[in-house]
Amino acid sequence: MNFALHLPFAVFAALGAMPSGRKRDRYVDENVRKAILAHLETARGTGIMLPVHGGMNRRIRLVKAWNEFISDAGATGTSHLVSAATRMVLQWSIDAHLKTRRMQSPHRDAMIENVHRSMCRHLDEGSFVKLGYIAELAPVPAFDDLRCETTGQHCRMIVEAWAPRLERLDMEESGEWVPLKDIDASAPQTVEIDLPTGELIIADYFRIAGFEKAFDKKVDALIGDARYDVSHCIDSEHGRYATTRATLAATGILEIATSDVTVAVHVRDDAVAVIDDHDESDETPNVAGMTRVGGICCERWTVLLADASVVRDLLKDGNGRLERFLASGNGSDVMRLRVNPGRWSVTFGEALHEPRRAESIGVSTTARTWFSMERITEDCDDVRA
């Protein structure tokens, strides 16, 4: 391995001296990206690149890119990994110029050449580092600002001898960086909700005066500051699941995260399924054995559902404000369904986005499934006529 053959000193030195702009971008594309790709392909060809330790089932873009690259799984991983390593090399060159700007030639040139030599040595050894800011010219991990979209944890990826591993800063106990472990694959989540009247309200949000204040008050009373902690962070899969469970426990209202989509509602006897309004081929999908009854535009990236009696109780004003909200809806942001009263099981989660996983719970469709509901008993805590 000899990265200096791919990126000679003259190219490295010229890179850091260039001002940012299109000229430097072209220079990077023509020189650095090609050098990085050639170096990575050489390493992959020798079989010395290992999968990321602690990255199993974690949604971290760089981890996915690294693992896809070493398995030669496609261009997406290659592009992202090359881009990340290219930024690292660019930063080496820029920092070398900044840290030596007060020096005079030839000392300055010699120092920059030493930096280039150090960078090449690290890359030849399969270590991905950058220059630190505290110790003069001391290398530190290059990929130190990552976030797991599955758990919400912030972490870094250490790459030494072509063997990457994930670490997180243990703020609660040791104050040290500790290894992250592999996690289980995502699985469908299940909760139960009571529909005492069978008057099911579905909307992307209940835009009713006083609702948000009353809703937040109950949730805050149950979980307090944890609502704003990483454990309930809506930017992570596990955080979204925890928020769904907490809001249901606190209010009796189910809030399920979606993306910025329009969802279609399908029904069959004692079952409801909510899927994307369009599938990947931009066709309008169906759910086998079910009837489409409407759709909801998820402008807030959520779907809320609850028995009408629960919403009325939360608002403490009988029927007035809820009925006005329902009457004002244009059909794209709120629906009222008549279903059989009782306790319903709701299955949700990102695992259901795979059609085969959705089919395992009885939802056969070509689109992403957001959740499905099925009545499990006539009894619930408060059945109302």
Q: What dihedral do alpha carbons 57, 58, 64, 66 form, nearest 10°?
A: -100
CA atoms within 13 A on the CB side of 295: 15
Helix (H, G, I), strand (E, B) or coil at 32: helix
Between β-strands 254-257 and 199-203, what pairing exists: parallel, antiparallel or unpaired? unpaired
Closest CA to 264 of 365, 140, 170: 365
CA atoms within 13 A on the CB side of 45: 7
The per-residue pLDDT for 156 is: 93
Quick: pLDDT tens for 279-309: 776 677 888 889 999 888 888 899 999 999 9
222 contacts 215 by C-beta, under 8 angstroms:
no
Question: CA–CA separation, 88 vs 157, rounded Å?
Answer: 13
Question: CA–CA separation, 232 vs 239, rounded Å?
Answer: 4
Closest CA to 197 of 305, 374, 320, 338: 338
Quick: pLDDT tens for 207-223: 888 899 999 999 999 98
In sequence order, which ranges of the chain are alpha helices (DSSP H)? Answer: 3-6, 9-17, 22-27, 33-46, 61-70, 75-99, 107-124, 211-223, 237-251, 308-315, 320-328, 355-359
- The domain spans of the chain are 3-179, 189-377
The per-residue pLDDT for 303 is: 93
311 contacts 290 by C-beta, under 8 angstroms:
no
* DSSP assignment letter at 288: T
The two counts, helices (H) then strands (E), for the chain are: 12, 16
Sequential pLDDT tens for the chain (385 residues): 899 999 999 988 888 778 888 888 888 888 889 999 999 999 999 999 999 999 999 999 999 999 999 987 666 668 899 999 999 998 888 888 877 766 667 777 888 888 899 999 999 999 998 876 544 556 788 898 899 999 999 999 999 999 999 999 988 888 889 999 999 988 899 999 999 999 999 998 888 888 999 999 999 999 888 777 877 888 899 999 999 999 999 999 999 999 888 899 999 989 999 998 887 766 778 888 899 998 888 888 999 999 999 999 998 876 688 888 888 765 558 889 999 999 999 999 988 888 888 887 778 887 888 999 999 987 776 544 3
- Whether pTM > 0.85 for this model: the answer is no
Whole-Å CA distances, 333 to 120, 263, 297: 57, 10, 5
Whole-Å CA distances, 236 to 33, 232, 370: 31, 8, 16
Phi and psi angles of residue 128, each rounded to the nearest 5 degrees, phi first: -105, 105
Whole-Å CA distances, 60 to 54, 75, 157, 259, 366: 11, 17, 10, 18, 26
Question: CA–CA separation, 254 vs 247, rounded Å?
Answer: 7
CA atoms within 13 A on the CB side of 382: 7
Whole-Å CA distances, 255 to 207, 208, 228, 349, 373: 14, 16, 16, 12, 14
Question: CA–CA separation, 204 vs 184, rounded Å?
Answer: 30
Question: CA–CA separation, 136 vs 132, rounded Å?
Answer: 7
Closest CA to 367 of 271, 291, 289, 264: 264
Question: CA–CA separation, 30 vs 346, rounded Å?
Answer: 53
